[in-house]
Structure 1
């Protein structure tokens, strides 16, 4: 994850990091470039968010064959590839999100939880449902302590 790189200290460094990795993928093997970082990292570092948004705008303005998609959409395209001219009508890439209706909640529950996997640590979790007994983890995905 990019947000674990301690050598990226400025927006310019983050922008250069993105460009370097994009160029490596675009100019060499054309493999999908995964962008992995937490939203909170961008929210807490406005300079990085500005650099990221500028980079996206620049990439889209200069490359008519680049798309920002989810990993699921990458797999769908790999299973059923389309040309650039066909991809605009590629059904799996059509937007299916609906923002109609009420939000799940206006103010989420703030849960202070523990986990057997991280003894002695309190982990904060915000959720629109009841707080689980434990922090959800691989061996306890519901946080109910049944596993």
Structure 2
């Protein structure tokens, strides 16, 4: 299939597909007319790239994973992918913990029942909000 067909089948813009080719994630065959020809395996690879991006893998990590999948199984290959995956799992778990903390802090934001109550207790609400913002600020990576 040509790039337009692959784009339609995958929902990924043609310029993104060209970029993936440029950085070595995709390797279509070329006709004498210079048209790129993609296989079903390229569509599957595109889907894998998008799933890995959703899992917060960057393109360099994705390239290592894709290259490793094309090699014969070896201890070195396993180790390389294992390091990337373990690192990503740790990062995702850290994000989950941070999001859980954020949810707890947001849930603790005091809300007034009406504008009169807020006006009467504005100092309390502002101080509480300030404490929550400071807690969140310390937990995020700035």
TM-score (norm. length: structure 2): 0.27
Name whichever structure is richer in helix by fraction. Answer: 2
Which of the pair has more CA radius of gyration? 2
TM-score (norm. length: structure 1): 0.26
